[in-house]
Amino acid sequence: MKGQGSANGSDGSGGYDLVVVANRLPVDFSVGADGEVDWQRSPGGLVSALEPVMQGNDGAWVGWSGAPDLAHEPFEADGMMLVPVTLSASEIRKYYEGFSNDTLWPLYHDVIAPPTYHRQWWEAYRRVNQRFAEAAASQAARGGVVWVHDYQLQLVPKILRDLRPDLRIGFFDHIPFPPVELFQQLPWRRSILEGLLGADLVGFQRGGDASNFVRAVRRLTDHPTRGSVVSMDSDDGSPGRRVRAAAFPISIDTAKFDELARSPEVQARAKEVRADLGDPDVVMLGVDRLDYTKGIRHRIKAYGEILQDGRIEAANTTLVQVASPSRENVGAYQELREHVESLVGRLNGEFGEIGHSAIHYLHHSYPPEEMAALYLAADVMLVTSLRDGMNLVAKEYIAARSDLGGVLVLSEFTGAADELAPGPLLVNPHDIDGMKDIIVTAAHMDPKEKRRRMRRLRRKVMGDDVAKWSKSFLGVLTAMPTRDTHV
Ligand code: G6P
């Protein structure tokens, strides 16, 4: 019965050896005027990481279609079985926009925006996590591996373990895990920790995130911890499972991105972009989802002051800011958009001229070819997040620059900074004066120093691609003793 979608026995007879559970499926759905549902592959980092392992392992992917009330049978795409989970409009409001993106997201990103705590949102989060866990339970083969992803699904490991104790369960948190002093604000903190502890292996971007998690377990639950291992002993004291927390810094498909950026089409497009910008001396670039964690306002403020001070000549400099639309129904994102757009307008009014803009602000998403061309066209890449789990844009920029040109300015508050220092110019985005100095240094850096830094960055990034990341996580997960061995 392998590869037969949801038609498994409830004990996992038949079913898939590897089941990935993530909030989103790696496809975009659209409903035509005739009501027909159509879908296209959405190129995401996670799918490029997991596709080869899924195809080699008889894999299924459980996730949401991205649209309300859309029910669809499991279907095959590129050698993977995709299993849609249906969410109602009210669940999207409460589970996705509410609890995931207006409670957990700000709380886990250092409360840059105030988290909102609503009991109704929590109820929806629980209900939806239950649905994802049930879908995964019905897809996984006996003794199979289930890999759950990200903050939207933190209760899934425990629910799934109760349903299917035969499975090996991994969880990977793509965003930061906050210090316990912040995490403990969450009224449902204990349930979240117990949810995650349903996994055998809990992976994080940085060692610091793993220690924050273990510290929270120590402080807020009764489970004993030793180093990075949590003991799930039973109430009578008999030894139970061990849960391990560890760092697995994620990456991108570096070879593919490198190749894309070397292609003649992309090289030509990069020249065209520079020409279209009026061939300024310095092109700076920011590429982010329009999210308050990304430090876009801080970056624009610093850039505007540099132009004001005349430390870089406004007539010969341009900042291209790609800000892709994101979570547009959430209030904090709407406010951010207004704020950023008014800053951009003010700066362009002040420093723009006919035929020259101080900032090119692009509220769109672009395909990888266009992104690679922008990276090649940029002398200075500005990644100034206030908090960021990893930041893959920084890694894409490095992978694109086989010419060893370009300077990466990188916030200290990204997972990437932990890995990439000392190659990038590190900044504290809260320190506007400090950031201005670094941006000016980057804009004036001599080509020899640029090459030295970029060579060092590429040595680090090119060897650590996303296939290695998933292989290493799954390698550790499958090497762990199963429950039966140590109960
Ligand atoms: C971050 C999260 C992902 C999420 C992505 C886009 O990278 O870690 O889980 O999918 O943002 O956000 P969205 O809300 O559109 O899925």
Q: What's the gap in Å between 174 CA and the centre of ligand 1?
A: 9
Q: Whose CA is nearest to atom 8 of ligand 1?
A: 174
Answer whether residue 291 shows pLDDT above 60: yes
- Is a pLDDT exceeding 50 seen at residue 6? no
Q: Who has greater pLDDT, 8 or 91?
A: 91
290: tokens are 């329009």
Query: In the predicted model, is pLDDT for residue 77 greater than 90?
Result: no
Q: What is the pLDDT of residue 415?
A: 98
Lowest pLDDT segment from 30-44, 123-137, 342-356 = 30-44
Place 43 in a pLDDT band, splitting at 50, 70 and 90.
Answer: low
Mean pLDDT value of segment 137-154: 97
330-359 pLDDT per residue, tens: 999 999 999 999 999 999 999 999 999 999
Residue 230 pLDDT greater than 90, yes or no: yes
pTM, two decimal places? 0.95
Higher per-residue pLDDT: 28 or 400: 400
Q: Residue 313: which residues within 8 A CB-CB, separation 6 or more?
A: 281
Q: What pLDDT score was predicted for residue 10? A: 53
Confidence check: pLDDT of 3 > 80: no
Tokens of 203: 């992976």
Which pLDDT value is given to residue 49?
76
Ligand 1 pocket residues where CB is under 6 Å: 23-24, 150, 174-175, 326-327
Instruction: Choose among 163, 166, 162: nearest CA to 143.
Output: 166
CA 443/CA 437 separation, integer angstroms: 10
Q: Which of 179-193, 232-246, 431-445 is predicted least confidently?
A: 232-246
Between the CA of 411 and the centroid of ligand 1 the distance, in Å, is 20
Atom of ligand 1 nearest to the CA of 149: 9
What is the pLDDT averaged over residues 423-449? 97
Q: How far is the CA of 101 from the centre of ligand 1 (A)?
A: 9
Which atom of ligand 1 is least distant from the CA of 22? 9
Give the contacts of 151 (CB within 8 A, at least 6 positions apart): 100, 104, 105, 108, 173, 174, 175
192 CA from centroid of ligand 1 (Å): 19
Average pLDDT, the chain: 93
Give 165 Cα–ligand 1 centroid separation in angstroms. Answer: 29
**What mean pLDDT comes out for the span 87-105?**
98
In this prediction, residues 71-91 reach a mean pLDDT of 93
**Cβ contacts of 86 within 8 Å, gap of 6 or more:** 64, 65, 69, 70, 71
Mean pLDDT score, 173-195:
98
Order of all β-strands in the sheet with 140-149: 75-77, 80-85, 59-64, 16-24, 140-149, 168-172, 201-204, 241-247, 229-232, 225-226
C-beta of residue 448 within 8 angstroms of C-beta of residue 406: no
Residue nearest atom 10 in ligand 1 by C-alpha distance:
24
